[in-house]
Amino acid sequence: MMHGKAAKWWDIITYGDSGKYIKFIAWLFLDSFIASIPSSVLMVAVYYLLAPILDSTKAYEQKPFWILVGILLVQTVVYAVIRRKSYLDICVGHVSAQQSDKLRLGDKLKTLPMGYFATHDAGELSTLLMRNYEEIENLSSSVAANSAVILIRLLIALIVLSIFNIKMTLAMFIVIPLAIPFAVISYRRVAHTSADLIAIQQQTAANVIEYAAGITMLQAYDRTGSEFSRLQNCFAKLRDDSKRQEKAGSAVSMYGRAILFSGIAIVMGFGAYLLSIGEISPFFYIMCLLAALQVYEPIMQLFVFVISMARINQCVEKLAALKDEQPLAVAEPAQTTDHSDIAFRDVHFSYGGKNEVIKGISFTIPERKFVALVGASGSGKTTVARLLARFWDISSGEICIGSVPVTGMTQEHLLSKISMVFQDVYLFKDTIAENIRLGKPEASDAEIIAAAKAAACHDFITALPDGYETLVGEGGSTLSGGEKQRISIARAILSDAPIVFLDEATASLDPENEVLIQRAIDELVKNKTVLVIAHRLQSVMNADEIIVLDDGRIAEQGTHAELLRKHGRYAALWENQQRAGHWKLA
């Protein structure tokens, strides 16, 4: 039974289903083995062809040739059947297993805290889920099966040749141990360079994504040249590291190959000597020469497979590390709640165990009440709200919804209770209808249209050439900020969650869009428990309670009128915004 690192390695390359993988490899091995039969048949045919020449007392017989032709015909039919099965396993079974493993990994990503994504960017994750899987697919679908075939064919050749003459067999195989050290050297060098190569591949992917996403901003500030230079430097380093890894494997490809193929000369010379003293027959000498041509190239290929393991091991370790990441823990048995009141009780939080950013916050939001979080930038507003959705786990204290701690709920149940509308809206590269349907995957077209009307975006959607089937660019790049915001609100309306979290939903919008979005928000928050983050205090004047944060603590709380009468932090913020609202250019 495998333990530790070996078990993880095996689990990765078998996509978590070792039984199916072993069957898959068995079919691939059978495929490769049947495919190798013609070469053996041809060697036998050569024997029957040369036998009368080497021994004039023998006559040509057609029967052996017809038997060999029959064998080849049977091999063709059998190979077609087996090839179909192995091909389907590769195209359907193997790829399906890989996709299932990717989906499991995607589900795993959904369970990880947001802190993980703060330290692992999109480039790293895309490399992990694409390039690393490609490397592992190469190992699991090709290297393993072909290596097994090569080893078995070499073993058969060793046994058969040894039966006829052990000296000639030793002469053929003696160069193999001499080439092994170069394979070991190449393996170690490639292993040493693989970590750097994978790191620059991830960095390059991240820079490409960043450059493509920010191209409009870069053009606006005439920074495309400087930023592209940074990308070019990244590509240059990727090129240099790739060349360095190729050079790292050059020992086996140059010196190892030279030693292996010197074996042909050894076989030829030593065989000629044995032939001259009558120890081997001319036929066996010819067979050894033909066999030598088919022995050394597969061994060279086997060495290449072994060296590729050094690079693949890095990929396996990366995927194993992700699979070992601890998800947000859920108390057993998981709890649910039908209520939507919220309670923060002496909540403390720090990112990565460093300086605290939330310092002993306590407050409650009754069901169907409207509470606003305000304060200067960096005061902890967004962090508090996202702790409610359990983007991170708190250091101490308790956050409850309906008297149930959020740590006692599954992530699915918790997020089903909350609709979130952020200032920075992200839309997927899909139709507008599908972007709205994210709020409720099973929603009908009629429900989507109703949500869009409630969010004041039906009119602009129907004015588009393809209406609800219009494709939006990556991140919603083909729509304006106000249009994206209204679609995100339609998505939240469709989900109909009892708790609504708004993060600066009307910030940085023109007056016309702000009016439309405010109407959409009014529709969204009807009969809901609402938590709003706001810089513009005018937008939360009517809140049931306003909580003022300062340096991760609650500085004061109360209604708009109560807080103005206190002449404290809120009153100062209000006064500053009122003065700013009346400034004008001289």
User: Is it the case that residue 498 has pLDDT exceeding 80?
Assistant: yes
In a domain, 14, yes or no: no
Residue with tokens 């823990």: 329
Average pLDDT over residues 196-209: 74
Token output for 15 = 């996509």
- State the average pLDDT for the chain: 79
Question: Hey, is 466 helix, strand or coil?
Answer: coil
In a domain, 244, yes or no: yes
pLDDT confidence of residue 55: 63
pLDDT, greater one: 166 or 85? 166
Q: Are residues 312 and 415 in the same domain?
A: no
- pLDDT band per the 50, 70, 90 thresholds, residue 61: confident
- pLDDT band per the 50, 70, 90 thresholds, residue 545: very high
Query: Backbone phi, then psi, for 361, in 5-degree steps?
Result: -85, 135
Instruction: Report the C-alpha gap between 118 and 140 in whole angstroms.
Output: 32
User: Is it the case that residue 495 has pLDDT exceeding 50?
Assistant: yes
Per mean pLDDT, which of 22-36, 320-334, 439-453 is the most reliable? 439-453
Q: Are residues 373 and 470 in the same domain?
A: yes
Instruction: Report the C-alpha gap between 381 and 385 in whole angstroms.
Output: 7
Instruction: Report the C-alpha gap between 498 and 81 in whole angstroms.
Output: 58
User: Is it the case that residue 508 has pLDDT exceeding 50?
Assistant: no
Q: Are residues 243 and 380 in the same domain?
A: no
Identity of the residue numbered 234: C
Question: What is the spatial order of strands in the sheet that 499-503 belongs to?
Answer: 418-421, 499-503, 529-533, 370-374, 545-550, 553-558
Name the domain boundary from 305, 327, 349.
Answer: 327
pLDDT, greater one: 360 or 54? 360
pLDDT confidence of residue 399: 93
> For residue range 14-23, what is the model confidence (pLDDT) as tens digits?
777 777 777 7
pLDDT confidence of residue 140: 67
Give the count of domains, the chain: 2
Average pLDDT over residues 518-541: 80
pLDDT, greater one: 541 or 90? 541
pLDDT, greater one: 356 or 15? 356
In a domain, 196, yes or no: yes
In a domain, 240, yes or no: yes
Q: Are residues 176 and 318 in the same domain?
A: yes
Residue with tokens 């190992």: 139
Contacts of 355 (CB under 8 A, 6+ apart): none
Q: Are residues 446 and 556 in the same domain?
A: yes
> For residue range 102-129, what is the model confidence (pLDDT) as tens digits?
888 878 887 787 767 767 766 677 777 7
Residue 418: CATH number of its domain: 3.40.50.300
Q: Are residues 419 and 566 in the same domain?
A: yes
Q: Are residues 296 and 442 in the same domain?
A: no
pLDDT, greater one: 363 or 325? 363
Q: Are residues 437 and 537 in the same domain?
A: yes
Question: Hey, is 408 helix, strand or coil?
Answer: helix
Per mean pLDDT, which of 9-18, 35-44, 112-121, 403-412 is the most reliable? 403-412
**Which range marks the domain in which residue 380 is found?**
369-386+411-580
Residue 175: CATH number of its domain: 1.20.1560.10
pLDDT, greater one: 303 or 464? 464
- First-to-last alpha carbon distance for the chain, in angstroms, is 81
Instruction: Report the C-alpha gap between 426 and 113 in whole angstroms.
Output: 19
Q: Are residues 558 and 492 in the same domain?
A: yes
Q: Are residues 479 and 377 in the same domain?
A: yes
In a domain, 218, yes or no: yes
Instruction: Report the C-alpha gap between 526 and 493 in whole angstroms.
Output: 10
> For residue range 546-566, what is the model confidence (pLDDT) as tens digits?
999 998 999 999 999 999 999
- pLDDT band per the 50, 70, 90 thresholds, residue 215: low
pLDDT confidence of residue 131: 74
User: Is it the case that residue 348 has pLDDT exceeding 90?
Assistant: yes
User: Is it the case that residue 586 has pLDDT exceeding 50?
Assistant: no
Q: What is the DSSP string of 20-53?
A: HHHHHHHHHHHHHHHHTHHHHHHHHHHHHHHHHH
Q: Note whether 37 and 6 are within 8 A (CB).
A: no
> For residue range 432-490, what is the model confidence (pLDDT) as tens digits?
999 999 888 889 999 999 988 888 888 889 998 889 999 887 666 678 777 888 888 88
Instruction: Report the C-alpha gap between 134 and 122 in whole angstroms.
Output: 18
Tell me how crowded residue 324 is: count the other CB atoms within 10 A of its CB.
8
> For residue range 360-391, what is the model confidence (pLDDT) as tens digits?
999 999 998 989 999 888 888 888 888 888 88
Q: Are residues 318 and 459 in the same domain?
A: no
Q: How many distinct helices (H) and strands (E) make up the chain?
A: 25, 10
Q: Are residues 501 and 562 in the same domain?
A: yes
In a domain, 493, yes or no: yes
Instruction: Report the C-alpha gap between 533 and 546 in whole angstroms.
Output: 10
Instruction: Report the C-alpha gap between 555 and 548 in whole angstroms.
Output: 6
Q: Note whether 335 and 404 are within 8 A (CB).
A: yes
Closest CA to 12 of 325, 311, 315, 304: 315
Q: CB-based burial of residue 239 (10 Å sphere; 0-12 exposed, 13-18 middle, 19+ buried)?
A: exposed
In a domain, 354, yes or no: no
In a domain, 145, yes or no: no
User: Is it the case that residue 395 has pLDDT exceeding 80?
Assistant: yes
Query: Backbone phi, then psi, for 581, in 5-degree steps?
Result: -70, -15
Residue with tokens 């240059």: 236
pLDDT confidence of residue 217: 58
pLDDT confidence of residue 144: 65
What Rg value do the Cα atoms of the chain yield, rounded?
35
